Structure 1
């Protein structure tokens, strides 16, 4: 169990570091951390309601509503009537922001991790890469056994069915 705890805490630590890097970049562009969280959740779900955002982010609906209105006024989000229930609104990314996120988030995250990897020797980098390949492949296999859908993570996992990296 100590190995599992260490790996879990390590993954969490790396995740927090990459999120801090993204937050720093966002703040340099005039977006607050709560706004980044809302944008991230909308990005993850493509279309979401205020109610669902507040549940996902564990914020009050009034707080989320205020953040969404600010992001709409900045041109980052759009609000459209829900086709099934006109009393509700669907929140999604503006086309401009969706394109920017597609282009920049991976680059910003990669830039942060490249800086970290550059602190390691080429041999150490290869060891880390191989270890991550093994761990991700095992997680994917476990998800399949448990009937969990791993396809939503396929862009992140970039591994073929046999655990070999796609080129």
Structure 2
């Protein structure tokens, strides 16, 4: 697995943006589901599918991230560690929210779960934004990644 992504420094940015969009659309879908009870059942299913695909995609994005080594400075290492930490927090929040959404589909009479899912999705969105901020810092401030100023290995 380590050698698989070594020759593709741009693979992570290509893979990471799709699950971000899916997970943010899940938030939008859930907010609309809470707001309009007429379409709640259908939108809850849409939210579940978006969450499931986004969580799988987030795992793939984490797996394609390279580690910094070599000539990169200590600040870049610290930013990368923070980026990875928030990526894993986002992944676990997405996974937990997916499970809660699935269980809530079975308990269709329990309305409070819809509000819990909105709260979890807002928390997930915040961690996604923090993760993206640190990823952007790595690329634009430290030149790590597709710019290839930092040495990347898996």
Q: What TM-score results when the alignment is normalised by the length of structure 2?
A: 0.27
Between Structure 1 and Structure 2, which shows a larger proportion of helix residues? 2
Which structure is higher in RCO with an 8 Å CA cutoff and minimum separation 6? 2
Q: What TM-score results when the alignment is normalised by the length of structure 1?
A: 0.26
